[in-house]
Amino acid sequence: MVPADVPSAAAEHGAGSPPALLEAVLRPAGLHLRLDGPTAEDLLVALSRGDEDGAWEDVDVLPAGSSGEVLDVEASAGDQVLLRSEDGTRASGAVPVVDPDAAPQQPEADGEQPGAGAPAGDATGDGGAEDSEPEDTEPDDTEPEDREALWQVANTLEERHGEWNAHPEGPVLHVHGRFGNTFRVAAEGISAGAGDVRAVCAISSRGDYTLLVAQGRELLRAEERAGVPTQWRHYDLPAHLDAAALAQNPDVERRCRRPQRSPLLPPEGALTLLRDAGIDVSAPLDRCSA
């Protein structure tokens, strides 16, 4: 295709500009674009490859009404992507293409060879055997196949509900949107995952959220609304019932609850269940970098 001219900064931020492009992520199925809202018109997707001196090329079209799309586009980490109107007068800001499975690059000091100049022991001259052991830190991502399963469920939810925005945040599938019952949204995500998704956090536009974590037939629920402390519930699901059905029926929901001392306290074993699901319990339960 013919390289596209990038509109001026004034046009980028003028009235009627396309929704903000939040991220462009390489996935096995293609290039995933995520916006902060649905488009009101068809938009051209322009790509600037890192090896082409900043030239922009129209590579695909994002259809009206889309807030996220997986495009059959070849790209590399570090390329730039933006969206623009078909008449070329309006554009979103450009974002870099990210490869979540790429190993992080360690910066090197000028003139220093990798691994050179590091003492064998610590600063005191001791052997430092304990210092050589890696720190025990929380994993910041899932395995590639697990991450792809999360993206597949995210796409399913966005196809069902065009106003929702879903994406993985580490091992947790986050769902954002203008909805009132965050419990039902999170439960739909768990059920849509069919065992491949263990944790879903539904966050409404008001800031309310529900985090659901599933382990077999066990379901842990942490929920917070404006001005109300976190409420906890712990469920045992019958074999014939899934999370979505539980959330739809208040009577069934009450019958499936495990007894607990107070809904304001995490149930027994809750922190272990959260850790087993890969959730950093030292961070806010609704933590989301997007």
List pLDDT tens digits, range 187-240: 999 999 877 889 999 999 988 999 999 999 999 999 998 878 899 999 999 989
H-assigned helices in the chain: 9-12, 144-160, 182-193, 243-248, 250-255, 270-276
Longest dimension (CA), the chain: 69
Give the Cα separation of 173 and 209 in Å (integer). 13
Residue corresponding to tokens 């462009």: 24
Is the confidence at residue 255, as pLDDT, over 90? yes
Could you tell me if 77 and 26 are in contact, meaning their C-beta atoms sit under 8 angstroms apart? Answer: yes
Q: What is the pLDDT of residue 136?
A: 42
| 40-70 residue pLDDT tens | 888 888 888 876 566 888 888 888 877 777 7
Higher pLDDT, 199 or 33: 199
Phi, psi (degrees; rounded to nearest 5) at 225: -125, 165
Q: pTM to 2 decimals?
A: 0.54
Q: What is the pLDDT of residue 183?
A: 96
Instruction: Look up residue 225 and give its two tokens.
Output: 């609304």
Name the band, by pLDDT with cuts 50, 70 and 90, for residue 80.
Answer: confident
| 103-157 residue pLDDT tens | 544 444 444 443 333 333 343 344 444 444 444 434 445 566 778 889 999 999 9
Name every residue whose Cβ is closer than 8 Å to that of residue 7 and which is 6 or more positions away in sequence.
84, 88, 89, 90, 91
